Amino acid sequence: MTQDIRWKQRLENFGLAISRFKEAMAGIAKDPQNHLYQIAFIGAFQFTFELAWKTMKDYLSYSGVQASLPREVIKQAFHFQLIKNGQIWIDMLEDRNLMAHVYQEQAAKEAVKNIREHYASEIEQIYNDLLERR
């Protein structure tokens, strides 16, 4: 019962993070060269990604699948068809890790591009899929 509540509570927080992520995406769309918007967008992506994988982890645990590290969770989520594109999620993890430790302007621009073109739709997809399972 506790696991059932935990993943649903995490899903609510994930939904709030997605709202902030969308706000940051709207800002970057208006002014893609603005460094502050880029930093805010990357930060919003980082905490949204964090809640995404942790929500998947809690859902998998509720379903009887144990995984604890982000890479393990992504692999299990792909194996159990919770996510459709495992490689995109691994790429997200690697970009998140890179941006969490070092800020390089060119890397930030590349991350913004990847987030907008590839990652945002995957994050929204898992959120919507998990909402349906709630």
Tell me the domains of the chain and their CATH numbers: 2-133 (1.20.120.330)
pLDDT at residue 57 above 90? yes
Both tokens assigned to 72: 């393990």
Burial of 75 (0-12, 13-18, 19+ CB in 10 A): middle
Which residues have C-beta within 8 Å of that of residue 8, sequence separation ≥ 6?
134
Confidence at 2, pLDDT banded by 50, 70, 90 = confident
Residue 49's pLDDT is: 98
Q: How confident is the model at residue 1 (pLDDT cuts 50, 70, 90)?
A: low
Q: How far is CA 58 from CA 3, 71, 72, 107, 119, in A?
A: 7, 14, 13, 31, 21
Question: In the chain, pLDDT over 90 holds for what percent of residues?
Answer: 79
pTM of the model: 0.93
